[in-house]
Amino acid sequence: MVMALAVFAPLFMSIFGRDFRVGASGLVILACGALFATVTGPSGATLLMAGNALVNLMSTLLAVSVNLGLDFWLIPKFGLDGAAWAWAFSMLAMNAFQAGALVRLFQMHPLGREFAYLTASCVFCFGLYGGLIRLVVGDGVAAFVIYAVGAVCIYAIILVRGRRFLRFDALAELRRYVYRRSSASGMNDLEAATIMVFDAEPVNHRGQSD
């Protein structure tokens, strides 16, 4: 969805009126900032689940400081685009701080071969393909429908073909492991999953303790 906002920004802005299309560049900048937040994953929620609310608060204060500082600097020079850049950089700072905290505290990070595979697939399906559709067909509603249907279908095919590489079967095994543990201990699934990730022994590919 974030890439769709970036590729078809003029179309989405025109929902509010034709005059709003001038804000398409700001929407592209905001979408890029949101894309980085998506790439780093739910780092803030993970920190809170692990009992590190103070670290999460520090990242929020950092984002507010960066946002306000850049607002005073960029808005007088660039107007709407300056405000968008300030927000994007504040999101980058906050999520980079949270991701770094997860690496430092729990040795957890989103990077890996699967991450690279999914990132490349998303960029191709929702970014490059969308840019090609907009270049050839235009940025109207019909072009967006062609883009949305085609991108989703292509991405689904890529996921199905790469399901073994992405280890989708491990998700099912993990779900069964969490269910067994929660049933045996009387905890709900979220509590069992949290303990498994942050406090329990490692779990192998078949969902059994090493």
- Residue-wise pLDDT tens for the chain (210 aa)? 788 888 898 888 988 888 888 888 899 999 888 887 777 777 888 888 778 889 989 999 999 999 999 999 999 999 989 999 999 999 999 989 998 888 888 887 767 787 788 888 888 998 899 889 989 998 889 999 999 999 999 999 998 888 888 777 766 666 676 666 666 666 655 555 555 555 544 434 334 444
Measured CA to CA, the distance from residue 28 to residue 88 in angstroms comes to: 10
Is the pTM higher than 0.85? The answer reads no
**C-beta separation of 188 from 182 below 8 A:** yes
Write down the pLDDT at residue 64.
95
Look at residues 135, 120, 149 and name the one whose alpha carbon lies nearest to residue 8: 135
Q: How far is CA 38 from the centre of its chain?
A: 1
Look at residues 24, 168, 43 and name the one whose alpha carbon lies nearest to residue 95: 43
Helix, strand, or coil (residue 79):
coil
Number of Cβ within a 10 Å radius of residue 46: 21
- Distance of CA 55 to CAs 41, 75, 89, Å? 16, 29, 19
Measured CA to CA, the distance from residue 110 to residue 70 in angstroms comes to: 28
Exposure class string for 110-149: b at 16+ Cβ within 10 A, else e: beeeeeeebeebbeebbbebbeebbeeeebeeebbebbbe
Tell me the sheet residues that pair with 203.
209
Measured CA to CA, the distance from residue 122 to residue 165 in angstroms comes to: 16
Measured CA to CA, the distance from residue 130 to residue 151 in angstroms comes to: 8
Tokens 């306000």 locate to: 68
- Tokens at residue 51, please? 């009992």
Tokens 């009126």 locate to: 17
| pLDDT, tens digit (0-9, with 9 covering 90-100), for 42-84 | 788 888 877 888 998 999 999 999 999 999 999 999 998 999 9
CA geometry: angle 191, 169, 190, nearest 5 deg = 10
